């Protein structure tokens, strides 16, 4: 039952996302066609069979049962329907083919433009509603590099301070992965031992990051400061408190949270020594001492504690744990200096437009790498199943993540649609550019032939993506 509900929830979120994207895209074609007094015979969200339909004026509005796209049928235009019955006659004034080339170009590109506008509106709204939250790169004085990670293979080491990526100064640390994907070629400059060193990354960085899963680059910055120590758990019983900085576990010094995770993955449940520091201003030092905890030293305004703690199993019984949570919220904001700024509408517009542009360039750069063979084709292209997975994960994470993935999918849809492939908007655009230059239309026979080839190619490509998604599950 639970699995069935999970499937239904996934389908629901995906249908919502696709419906929004398709509606906005087709609305672009519809509104501009109406603006130029073209007759629109049908506005459909979804493909046949028809679920609902009503005719208002000259246009039939349809909801189709196949939610993989939609279409606007404009009189006098060769489109996905392959309807050419009236194209042998002289064009009527309200037909697409009777209008100037520039007007037809506007109508053809309007769907793509509306998708980009939708993405911009979403990014602007998210910035205005949630603010601008980021970690200034200058606050990250050193990073932890996991052994065997992509960053380690490139040449980065624990203790480095990352200065720039792709020759561009890193101002927000959260931009690290984005800059890594955008850079072509990839270079990362770090500061180590008072000097700057530049390392080159692999051409297939997208593929490698995808295969690395959650580890991605293998760069960690979260310090070994705890957000809280759960009551009734080993660390809480030892007297540990929020903002305490763990300095060693089982005799091994730690500075980053990932080091704590790694060490706890090797313990067997036997009592282990744990040392941590606390600012004296945080709490009454004497009251903080538990029975098995001792005050080791006081240096300035920092007290050092030590306790021998027996880790406990987690609820799943899969690993030992101390019962401490990684730095987050106010702890992370104070320790690293996370900036959480409310954004006025004017600033939100600027930031939203910048994010739209950056993500558009990132997607174009990614596609260029994929289709040039530098990145693994199968690993980096996702079909409906992958889109469903990502959309459901985003929805589970909350409204911010869901709307952000809708914005990214909207940009992707726009870019894919403008590719010069017959049956896509980009294919129609090529025909119109040809007509604008030569002052004559391509023959109907040629357009129909190319349109059919384009439809077959798209069908084959979509089939490949579906099976590729299934194989990667």
Average pLDDT (277-299) is 76
Which of 69-83, 101-115, 233-247 has the highest average model confidence (pLDDT)? 101-115
Q: Please give the pLDDT value at position 84.
A: 57
Dig out the tokens for 146 from the structure.
């996991």
Segment 166-212, tens digit of pLDDT: 888 988 888 888 888 888 888 999 999 989 999 998 888 888 887 77
Segment 207-264, tens digit of pLDDT: 888 777 666 788 999 999 999 888 888 888 888 888 999 999 999 999 999 999 999 8
Task: Map residue 272 onto helix, strand or coil.
Answer: strand
- Please indicate whether residue 348 or residue 312 has the higher confidence score (pLDDT): 348
186 vs 172: CA distance, rounded Å? 18
Q: Please give the pLDDT value at position 2.
A: 64
Q: Please give the pLDDT value at position 347.
A: 93
Name the pLDDT band for 59 (thresholds 50, 70, 90): very high
Name the pLDDT band for 88 (thresholds 50, 70, 90): low
Q: Please give the pLDDT value at position 417.
A: 92
Dig out the tokens for 210 from the structure.
């995808």
Say if residues 270 and 292 touch (Cβ distance below 8 Å): no
Q: Please give the pLDDT value at position 81.
A: 56
Q: Which DSSP letter does residue 95 get? A: S
Say if residues 176 and 165 touch (Cβ distance below 8 Å): yes
431 vs 447: CA distance, rounded Å? 8
| Candidate from 16-25, 270-279, 362-371 with smallest mean pLDDT | 362-371
How does DSSP assign 63-76, residue by residue?
EEEEEEEEEEEETT
Distances (CA, A) of 82 to 76, 448, 450: 11, 7, 11
* Average pLDDT along the chain: 87
Q: Please give the pLDDT value at position 117.
A: 97
Which of 27-31, 87-91, 330-334 has the highest average model confidence (pLDDT)? 27-31
Which of 114-123, 208-217, 293-302, 445-454 has the highest average model confidence (pLDDT)? 114-123
User: Where are the strands (E) in 171-258, listed by range?
Assistant: 187-192, 195-200, 219-220, 228-229, 245-249, 252-253
Q: Please give the pLDDT value at position 119.
A: 97
Say if residue 270 is exposed, middle or buried (CB neighbours under 10 Å; 0-12, 13-18, 19+).
Answer: exposed
Whole-model pTM? Answer: 0.81
Length of the chain: 473
């Amino acid at each position: 039952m639970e699995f069935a509900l999970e499937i239904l929830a996934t389908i629901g979120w995906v249908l919502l996302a696709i419906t929004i994207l398709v509606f906005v895209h087709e609305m672009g074609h519809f509104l501009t066609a109406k603006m130029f007094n073209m007759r629109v015979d049908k506005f459909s969200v979804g493909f046949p069979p028809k679920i609902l339909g009503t005719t208002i004026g000259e246009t039939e509005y349809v909801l189709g049962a196949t939610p993989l796209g939609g279409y606007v049928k404009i009189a006098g235009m060769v489109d996905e329907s392959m309807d050419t019955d009236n194209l042998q006659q002289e064009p009527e004034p309200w037909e697409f083919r009777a209008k100037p080339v520039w007007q037809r170009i506007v109508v053809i590109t309007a769907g793509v433009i509306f998708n980009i506008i939708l993405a911009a509106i979403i990014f602007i709204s998210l910035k205005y509603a949630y603010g601008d939250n980021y970690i200034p790169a200058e606050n990250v004085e050193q990073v932890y590099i996991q052994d065997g990670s992509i960053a380690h293979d490139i040449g980065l080491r624990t203790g480095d301070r990352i200065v720039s990526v792709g020759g561009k100064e890193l101002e927000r640390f959260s931009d690290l992965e984005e800059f890594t994907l955008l850079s072509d070629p990839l270079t990362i400059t770090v500061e180590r031992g008072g000097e700057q060193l530049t390392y080159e990354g692999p051409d297939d960085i997208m593929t490698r990051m995808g295969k690395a899963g959650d580890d991605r680059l293998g760069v960690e910055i979260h310090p070994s400061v705890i957000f809280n120590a759960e009551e009734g758990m080993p660390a809480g019983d030892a007297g540990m408190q929020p903002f305490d900085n763990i300095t060693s576990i089982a005799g091994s010094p730690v500075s980053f949270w990932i080091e704590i995770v790694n060490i706890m993955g090797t313990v067997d449940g036997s009592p282990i020594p744990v040392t941590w520091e606390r600012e004296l201003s945080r709490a009454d030092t004497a009251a903080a001492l538990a029975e098995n905890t001792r005050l080791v030293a006081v240096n300035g305004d920092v007290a050092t504690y030590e306790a021998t703690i027996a880790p406990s199993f987690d609820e799943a019984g899969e690993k030992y744990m101390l019962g401490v949570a990684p730095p987050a919220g106010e702890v992370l904001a104070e320790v690293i200096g996370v900036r959480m700024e409310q954004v006025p509408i004017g600033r939100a517009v600027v930031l939203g437009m910048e994010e739209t542009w950056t993500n558009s360039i990132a997607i174009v750069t990614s596609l260029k790498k994929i289709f040039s063979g530098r990145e693994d084709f199968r690993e980096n292209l996702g079909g409906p199943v992958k889109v469903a997975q990502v959309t459901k994960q985003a929805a589970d994470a909350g409204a911010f993540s869901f709307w952000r993935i809708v914005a990214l999918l909207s940009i992707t849809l726009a870019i894919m649609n403008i590719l010069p492939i017959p049956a896509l908007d980009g294919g129609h655009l090529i025909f119109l550019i040809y007509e604008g230059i030569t002052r004559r239309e391509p023959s109907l026979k040629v357009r129909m032939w190319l349109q059919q080839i384009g439809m077959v190619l798209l069908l084959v490509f979509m089939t490949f993506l579906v099976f590729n998604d299934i194989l990667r599950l």
